[in-house]
Structure 1
Amino acid sequence: MNGPVNARSSPSSDGRGDVGSPSFLLGCNGRGAQHLPGNPPPIDEQFRMVKESGVFDYFDRMPQPGQEKEYITAAARYDLPMITGLWTYTMGKDEALLKNNLSLTSESGGQCHNIMLFSQHADGHQLSNQEVVDFYLAAYDLAQQVGIEITFEVHINMWSEDFRRVNAVADMVGSHGIPFNFLLDHSHVLLKLDSAEEQRRSGIEAAVASGELILDPFEPDNIIDDWIARNMTVWHSVRPVAPGGPKNLWATDEHGNFGRACQYPFHRPRPGEFHSEWQAYKVEPCKAVVRRVLAHHRRDPGSRLKYVTTEIIDLIDYGMNARYSLFEQSVAIAQWIRDEWEKTATN
């Protein structure tokens, strides 16, 4: 086991800090602890795989309903804590569930619970920014009571899919004297590059066309660089996507629609393992963002980054029915992150 990725114990003269003290922790999303999607190994085996890979510090998943004891037992057996986890919530319906999940996170040794808040209220109306802020503040208070922290994520199907709302909500939260804890999942931004269909789904097509909203991480004043500069990222999840697709051609929903283009293999799949042509350059936007997050963390003594996770998963918009190994891809990403982190010490 490599242990926590190293950073600085105190600022150095060049602002990058010393190498050798604990910094962010590197976790494997539990849905990635399997080879072929739809056939996950027993929970104990999932933890063993992640532990023995030697590249992860922890297991990123909340104990699943009805399996709490198995998860907690496996975490203890392999000395692989479940430091982070997440759940999805609908305002007006899931407030009690949120309270229970925060308590479970704390009781199972977790440090951070990520909240994915759907864009619609239980009664069907679209959440306003104020309602998102109210949910955040209530969740923040509950998390403080049980000794953990929360993050809010940029994600498809959630309030944050219109990326312009993120800064507005962050500023509103900050006006209460409360930090806005952000989970930066850049894949949900990059998948909309070169995709008018994806931009329309979140109402940002006109803003992108006018230059009000810049998605391309290689262009000045892009939204991801803005978020990084705001120093609000507590958790960074790393999943490659290919701008403009391809969609998941091996999985369809109940209406016959292919899964969205939310996941792309990090390294070249073997013949027959991927439904589309794989091209290495399509992974470069993801790599560019990760390098900037790591560089910011190295340079800024006040960086708030604590957790980085690999996010190769098995859901319909991601890797459902994939024939490449989710776990092999996850391990490859984690090793690459560690290698890139070491490079920041000399760059």
Structure 2
Amino acid sequence: MAKKPIKEGYKFYAICDSSTGYIFDFFPDGRLATTTIAGSVARLIDCLPRKDELQYVVAMDNYFTTPRVITETRQKNVGIVGTARNRRGWWAQEYKDIEDQRFNTLYCWHHQDNYLVCRWIDNNVVNMVTTIHTGDETIPRARRKPRQTSTNRNHVRLVWGNDPKVTVDIPGMIDDYNHWMGGVDKADQYISYYRPNLRCRRSWMPIFLHCLDIMRVNGFLVVKSSDKRLDHKSFIISSTKILNNRAVAYESGVTRSKTAVPDPPGSGQKKKLRRMSHTDPQLPLCRFEGNPSDHRHEISSTQKRCIYCSFLLAKAKKEGREDLPKVREPSRCCSYCRVNLCHEHFDVFHSTT
């Protein structure tokens, strides 16, 4: 691809969540592959979770917005919105002959296959295709004054004047596209932070490393959804330690004894458990550490409140519910986490994210 920073290599197709960057599915493609653009989009859409229950809208750029892609996505009951190119034999000639260059003007053309083709003027001409908008939606947005060029000088002076920022009613499809198009960019940004910089001649190695990067990013986004205090670097360090400890325990066949003495305070071996917050309740990450067989129900020396019951109570208070759950005070605890847990919540405590 001559216009890309990296001219040659493998291209990864991916479909991501627009708000977080979570990667639902991906697959590589190369020069000798026989996949088509429409086939690639259909494959990615088929992997969306609960597609029969939820309504999805896919935002895409002009590389993917072809007539065949639009037709197939409609057949799969998935909406699309994206930029488009002038393709031969696709758009009506009268649409191509429009010469109006006034700022924020919108022209819409209803295609015979029941979707909308639009022409909008920003700093330049923007062509859009959508299957979920009517063209009448507008939303006020504060727009910064752009840098003046030979093509936008007239409307910059007319709209902004001497003001650095003005409120403009832009089309709803443009606003939706701006908010929904950044999912893949967010995922690539997370991957680039801690990507291994290795040069090798084996073609499978970069693909394998990229798959590991995607697993790392998805794992971080899942954990961050429940513990917003965790940063990316700390997640990588803690997950690496957890995987290494589990591998060592599995190879050696050694697990923590039921009568093992816990680590003394201040030894640095285990972090001090935080108190349950009423504004942002979180469960400790130690429930995922060590070997799964290390976490056993055992008799505790003291009777304390169940940590998961306290977590549910804090969540109920934060949501303002009136039916507050009951908090039990069991005399049993986890042999590894050293927190009291009732029999009902022992398994869910170690499985929930």
Q: Does TM, scored on the shorter chain, surpass 0.5?
A: no
TM-score normalised by structure 1 residue count: 0.31
Where relative contact order (Cα < 8 A, 6+ residues apart) is larger, the structure is: 1
Kindly name which structure, 1 or 2, has the bigger radius of gyration based on alpha carbons. 2
TM-score normalised by structure 2 residue count: 0.31
